[in-house]
Structure 1
Amino acid sequence: MDGPCKQLIPYIAGELTEKEEKQFKHHLDQCKTCSEEYSDMSGAWNFLQYDFKEKEVPAALKKEVMEYVLATESERPSSRPASWLDSLKKQFTPLTSGLVLAMAAVICFLGLNSPYFQEFKAALQTDQIATQTLNTWSFEGTDINQRELTGIAAVIQEDKSKKLIVQMRNMPALKGSEVYQVWLLKDGERENAGIFKPDRKGTGTLSFSLKKDIRFDQIGITVEPDDTSRQPRGKKVAGTG
């Protein structure tokens, strides 16, 4: 997608400024392609808004899922399916479905209690997608003054590959070349698991491919002066244990 069309996902995610939103609404009225994409994608987006007791699905993670849909979808149904479950299965690729299922499992770990989640999970499993959620964690901030900092993580396996998915909220803003770096911990040893920068709302997402033989039982996040750290040089801001 080029030009104004590339604003479609940020528009659905509610990330545009008031001025940008008005401009895109005008574009949406004129562009048949975007209008059709919006009709289908906004429905899939809303399917991710389940009935939560305390926490809602972070917008950044939903945006990541939708970007996978846009990047990998090769064929759009000629007519809208009769049910939202059929629509979801037809629009999402196996990889996307695996990520969505992992996200749902992590949020369930945090207290999801919705019949829609059970129906959604069962629908994905009937497609026999070779995806498993192997482990989940919750993050807490290390600074007493940053109690609102929270996060979740999950390791998912699809076929023979494993991925670590990290989703953080209310992260302090970074300065200059600073980055947040994720570390995997086991018996005092640390291994780099990638970097991320949060958006202006403090929400950050990381997806990292794991080595086949890697072992870890805790996850830590530090703020680093740049993206070249092989060992922590900065302060730890969050951890799972």
Structure 2
Amino acid sequence: MTMETKNGHPCDYLFDCLIGEATAAERKAFERHLAECPSCSRQWNEMLEVWNSLPGVMDSSEPPDGLKEEVMKSIFGAERKGPSKEPASAAEPNQPLVPAPEAGYPQPARKRHRRKYAWGTTVAAVFLAVCVWFYASHGEESFVVNAVEQPLYVEQTYVLNAADNNVNEAQGTGWIVCQGNKKKLVLNTSGLATTSNDEAYQVWLIHDGKRQNAGTFWVDPKGNGVLVYDLPRRDAEFDTIGITLEPDSRGTQPRGKKVLGN
């Protein structure tokens, strides 16, 4: 039998467990819930994958207290209200609460607002991970200040599939994240081949047959990568996203093989 929380559904504990605000009892309840909810288990593992995709610099530099929580609150639009409680420690990035569900396990029907909360949490994890990585890399908070001043919301989601049917493990997800009058394209990829020498993955936004360079990124030894691109205020429309493996990061037109696209 599914355990209900004070908020009406056990899925509501995912956010608190992520940022370390869940009590020990709530964390245990969420662990039990993950064992029977493939949707929440998949979302949790996606967030762990995002953390693992970031450079090792995060291991040697600790962001300021409260940064993670503030960015997450911004992405969800407002602070979560409720009685104060003694938080339990946040989950370790490399330690899933429970094993991932078996492939092909049927997904339960969920209400629309639950699905919206779920993918909102996933993109929040991606954006939060990028913010924390940037702080760890540069040692200052200028990049993340704006992330907590106005609420963020996801305008559109893109699913990227492997261009080569023989490389089924390559995949990616893209989100257009809006904040005030600004928009960012946030990409999370996995299963890509590691690069060598000057090689880099390059992102292209295609509209009416014209390609726009949206930046380059590299992947970790497991083939995971993250990119955040500021969309221009004008002429920001695009129909499709393409990712190519390029000989270097200096190209203005694709020269390499396409690996992902929608």
Q: Does structure 1 retain, via aligned residues, the 8 Å contact 2:175–2:187?
A: yes
Per the TM alignment, residue 59 of structure 1 is displaced from its structure 2 partner at its CA by: 3.1
Q: Does structure 2 retain, via aligned residues, the 8 Å contact 1:152–1:166?
A: yes
CA RMSD of aligned residues (A): 4.1
Per the TM alignment, residue 221 of structure 1 is displaced from its structure 2 partner at its CA by: 0.1
Aligned with residue 226 of structure 1, among 245, 248, 251? 248
Per the TM alignment, residue 62 of structure 1 is displaced from its structure 2 partner at its CA by: 3.6
Q: Take 1:234 and 1:119, find their aligned partners in 2: how far apart are those partners?
A: 35
Amino acid aligned to 1:207: V
1:237 aligns with 2:259: yes
Q: Take 1:52 and 1:130, find their aligned partners in 2: how far apart are those partners?
A: 29
Q: Take 1:119 and 1:188, find their aligned partners in 2: how far apart are those partners?
A: 34
Share of identical aligned residues, percent?
27
SS in 1 for 2:172: strand
Q: Take 2:75 and 2:153, find their aligned partners in 1: how far apart are those partners?
A: 10
SS in 2 for 1:93: helix
Q: Does structure 1 retain, via aligned residues, the 8 Å contact 2:76–2:120?
A: no
Q: Does structure 1 retain, via aligned residues, the 8 Å contact 2:186–2:229?
A: yes
Q: Does structure 2 retain, via aligned residues, the 8 Å contact 1:60–1:204?
A: no
Q: Take 1:120 and 1:189, find their aligned partners in 2: how far apart are those partners?
A: 30
Deviations 1:47-95 (A, max 9, x none): 9x9754384314352466xx6xx54x4x55xxxxxxxxxxxxx95224x
Q: Does structure 2 retain, via aligned residues, the 8 Å contact 1:142–1:239?
A: yes
Aligned to 1:154: 175
Aligned to 2:166: 145
Q: Does structure 2 retain, via aligned residues, the 8 Å contact 1:186–1:217?
A: yes
Amino acid aligned to 1:155: I
The two structures have a TM-score, normalised by structure 2, of 0.53
Report 1:189-200 matches (<5 A): 189-200=210-221
Aligned to 1:12: none
Aligned to 1:59: 48
Structure with bigger RCO (C-alpha 8 Å, 6+ apart): 2
Per the TM alignment, residue 208 of structure 1 is displaced from its structure 2 partner at its CA by: 1.1
Change (3 A) 1:119 1:211: closer
Per the TM alignment, residue 210 of structure 1 is displaced from its structure 2 partner at its CA by: 1.0
Deviations 1:207-228 (A, max 9, x none): 1111112110110000000110
Aligned to 1:107: none
Q: Does structure 1 retain, via aligned residues, the 8 Å contact 2:19–2:68?
A: no
- The structure carrying a bigger helix percent of its residues is 1
SS in 1 for 2:245: strand
Amino acid aligned to 2:222: K
Q: Take 1:181 and 1:119, find their aligned partners in 2: how far apart are those partners?
A: 28
Change (3 A) 1:93 1:147: same
Q: Take 1:43 and 1:229, find their aligned partners in 2: how far apart are those partners?
A: 42
Q: Take 1:99 and 1:61, find their aligned partners in 2: how far apart are those partners?
A: 16
The two structures have a TM-score, normalised by structure 1, of 0.57
Q: Take 2:226 and 2:194, find their aligned partners in 1: how far apart are those partners?
A: 14
1:92 aligns with 2:35: no
Aligned to 2:239: 217
Aligned to 2:207: 186
Amino acid aligned to 1:231: Q
Q: Take 2:256 and 2:211, find their aligned partners in 1: how far apart are those partners?
A: 14
Q: Take 1:130 and 1:142, find their aligned partners in 2: how far apart are those partners?
A: 35
Q: Take 1:230 and 1:188, find their aligned partners in 2: how far apart are those partners?
A: 15
Q: Does structure 2 retain, via aligned residues, the 8 Å contact 1:98–1:158?
A: no
Aligned to 2:198: 177
SS in 2 for 1:182: strand
Report 1:119-130 matches (<5 A): 129-130=150-151
Q: Take 1:140 and 1:236, find their aligned partners in 2: how far apart are those partners?
A: 11
Q: Take 2:70 and 2:255, find their aligned partners in 1: how far apart are those partners?
A: 39
Deviations 1:80-135 (A, max 9, x none): xxxxxxxxxx95224x445578xxxxxxxxx795969749969x9xx995322111
Q: Take 1:204 and 1:119, find their aligned partners in 2: how far apart are those partners?
A: 21
What residue ranges of structure 1 are gaps of 5+ in the alignment?
Answer: 1-39, 77-89, 102-110
